[in-house]
Every structure is written in structure tokens, then in C-alpha cells.
Amino acid sequence: MIRFQNVTKRFGEFTAIHDLSLDIFEKEFFALLGPSGCGKTTMMRMLGGFETPTEGRIELAGQDIGPVPPNKRAVNMMFQSYALFPHLSIWDNIAFGLRRDKLPKDQIAARVEEMLKLTRLEKFARRKPHQISGGQRQRVALARSLAKAPKLLLLDEPLGALDKKLRQDTQFELMDIQETTGTTFVIVTHDQEEAMTVASRVAVMDEGRLMQVATPARIYETPDSVYVADFIGDVNIIQGTAKPIGDDRFHVSWNEGQPPLTATSAKPFSDGQTCHLAIRPEKVTITTDKPDTADNAVQGKVHDIAYLGNLSTYHVALPCGTMIKAQTANTRRLSRRQITWEDPVWLSWTATAGVLLAE
């Protein structure tokens, strides 16, 4: 439905977007994820019509929307600051866009009531924006941008101003509303947990380029670069050289005097090629005795333990100085902690646990 074709955007000397092509499909919940300054907000502002691409074209439903001004686009935006009109009541804020379309009065009223119901704001219709709480303001902003039934809704860091608990609740509300209305949502966020929760597909961006576009699960389990692996969640990166041993299996020599690690990879690596083995901490098993049947096992000393309630993360220092993180779920309430600081431990993982990356 939306197609970026070789879009480049420059602000003076600074290039915000580098020759970027991307398709976003109908009824999708799409997330643009990246650190601040990576160009994700610029992408969104180009969709909204507040910036025009320097090169390339953006199509919405097959039509080039480059020359279309924001007030003529079937696109609405929910702003990071919510941008509620302080001099209008909640009701009038939601009705604002409908009034611009010169709809008949009773139709506007019906639509506003529908939006108030959808966002559970009926009680607050007569209040002014400064008379309601942050979470309610967020819902007003959502109701206002959805009132005109846009083909595409843009959300710029919509939950950034909310506290953690409220943010989690609101994430699920957003997903429900997206499903009920069937609108295509594009969300911009720097919070990877938020992107993973709400989106059906995630685009990871860095310095104006797309690093990877895939479902949250694929982004997490099979990142295709060290950058993506490192940006999403926690990861151990071990650098080494690859040696094919057949059946998509490789030996990674990573430290002299240590036996090579075994990993599988669908992508080919040549003999002696530099590679990075990325393993998520929860896929590393920590034991006090040497495991008998692990593909990979290394010995180290517990350096630090972080107790998070549901999980515990162990930082284990290997003799060569490398630090490896291992995570275990605390499934029992009363268990004597077997492993403590300075204990010698074994870390082990299977050949399929990690991802082998070139860069």
C-alpha cells in the first residue's frame, strides 16, 4: 500500500535518509525502530506530508504523494506531544478534522461519540485538555487522528510520555483498536520492547538506512547483522574465524588454547572468514559441573549476578577475559541459590542456539 522508492532526504549537507526502498502493506502494524537521529521521524514526516523527499518517490495506494499537501492526504498523524488544541474541549478536538470536511452536524456528532466510546473517554468530552491526565490525553490524540478514518495512521513515539505500567496497558489497547478499525498503523519508536509488542513487522534503522525488515520473532532470533542483534535485546557476541565442517555446520576458532565452538548457519562462510557468533543469554545454560553432551562448553568464574525477580542474569568471566551473560528463569520460589560470586561454572549451548554473522 505504501511504497518508498529509492527515497533520499537531505537537510543541507546532512543526509537523513540514504536511498531507501520499503513496502508497507495494508492493515499492517508496522514499526520503525532505531536510536534517535536514525531518520525514523523523517520517514514519518515524509508520509505525513511535512517533508518532501529530495530524491525518489513515495506512493500511497499507487499514487505518488510527493506533491500532495498534508491537508489533502488520507493520512493522519498522532504527534509525540499529542498536540491537542488547548483552547478546545475534548469533544471539539475530536470533531476538528470532521468539521474541516464540512460534514453535516449530526454525522459529526455520531462519529465523535463513536470515537469517545472506542477510547473510553465519554465522561471527559466536555473537559479541556489540561483538565485530564496524561494517559487520557494520549487517548484523545488517538481518537482525534482516527476520527477521519484515515487509510494510514502515523504514530510518533505515542507512548513516550507515559509511565511503564500505563504504557504496557496502552500497547495492548492500541493493538485492539488497530484490529477493530482495520487501519494501517505505522509507529515510530526507539523502545524495542514496544516495537516488538505492538508491531506485526519491524524495520530496524540506523543512520538513514534500513538494517533489517522482518517480524519481531525473526528480528530477535535471526538478526542478519551484528548491529541488529546488539540493538534488539541482550546478546553475547563472540568474534572468531569460521571453518566449514559440512551440513551447514561451522567451527569457530575464537581463542587460542580453547577448543573451537560449533555453530550452524544457513549462510555460507568460507574457510578463515572472520565471523561473529551471537548468542542470546537465555540460550546459555549455566551449571556447576561440566555438562556431558553439550555442543559447546566453556569454563569461567561468576563475576556478577543480577536478580530481576523473574530472571537472574549471571555475568561469567572466561579465563581469557571475555564476559559471557547467561540467563535463567527463576521458576521456583524457594530454592537455595547454588551459584554465587566467584564460583567456577560451566556455560554450555547447542550448535543451533547462536547465529553466525559476517558483520
- Binding stretches for other proteins (CB under 8 A): 48-50, 69-71, 75-77, 79-81, 83, 85-87, 96-97, 100-101, 128, 130-136, 144-145, 148
Least distance (Å) between residue 72 CB and other proteins: 8
Least distance (Å) between residue 211 CB and other proteins: 28
d(CA 55, CA 70) in angstroms, rounded, equals: 19
Least distance (Å) between residue 275 CB and other proteins: 45
For other proteins, give the closer residue by CB, 14 or 289: 14
For other proteins, give the closer residue by CB, 85 or 341: 85
Backbone angles phi, psi at 217, to 5 degrees: -65, -40
Give the bridge partners for 304, in sequence order: 315
For other proteins, give the closer residue by CB, 181 or 241: 181
For other proteins, give the closer residue by CB, 147 or 347: 147
Q: b or e along 294-330 (b: 16 or more beta carbons within 10 Å of the residue's beta carbon)?
A: bbbbbebebeeeeeeeeebbbbbebeeebebbbbeee
Least distance (Å) between residue 170 CB and other proteins: 13
For other proteins, give the closer residue by CB, 69 or 104: 69
Cβ count near 95 (within 10 Å):
21
Least distance (Å) between residue 50 CB and other proteins: 6
Least distance (Å) between residue 197 CB and other proteins: 23
DSSP string, 145-194: HHTT--SEEEEESTTTTS-HHHHHHHHHHHHHHHHHH--EEEEEES-HHH
d(CA 325, CA 335) in angstroms, rounded, equals: 21
Task: Say which DSSP state 259 is in.
Answer: P
CB 303 within 8 A of CB 317: yes
For other proteins, give the closer residue by CB, 124 or 269: 124
d(CA 350, CA 292) in angstroms, rounded, equals: 12
